[in-house]
Structure 1
């Protein structure tokens, strides 16, 4: 069973940060100093699979709009629908006035975000040594 919840307790945030450390710093070799920023202004989410911490993500308000960030699922839980549940939960959690919603998607994750009506905008770019495209939510 997949659950995704907005978390604020330090014990839950520790789980979120550990998942991000495993996936981004460990697997993807992202520099740790780039991984830990804007934590205090972000709304953090923890995904569990059968009550085991499995994924993490966040959103935050920027000068441009609402940015979805740091979506990751631990390797042993991939392919179970956790990322889709995280995207839907985060979108449902945004304020009603969230009119511009965007993210920077790793190339492999673009098909996931496309399912939610995000479209690529602008040129491909590198962030933390990984190729990305900015994607913007197209509202119906």
Structure 2
């Protein structure tokens, strides 16, 4: 399955089965705590500067894509908050399986049981806080209304 097909499936899955947290706003979160959590839990794969791994758009021999950047050069901001939350909490495989895309391999581990829901939201808020204002505005529009 191609990356384009997966992204299209994710978009359709989000519309068909929007999670309870889909409208969750990232404003008002603890950005500093999120930064610490990012360094402790995410930077090893996604980079200290959110730059991701080299060649992140090309799957390795095992069919798994390298960790993408979370800065404005990546595609994290293309997704709504609910999907980002689910992907972090359930891991790539769990989030994709919940949306009917079980045949896509993902290297993203599940952080359920490692990070609390609030810690996941703080981490996502930190990531979003690094994006330029225009990209933050675009990403906000991807979230369904409450």
> TM-score w.r.t. structure 1 length?
0.31
Higher helix share: 2
> TM-score w.r.t. structure 2 length?
0.31
Higher strand share: 1
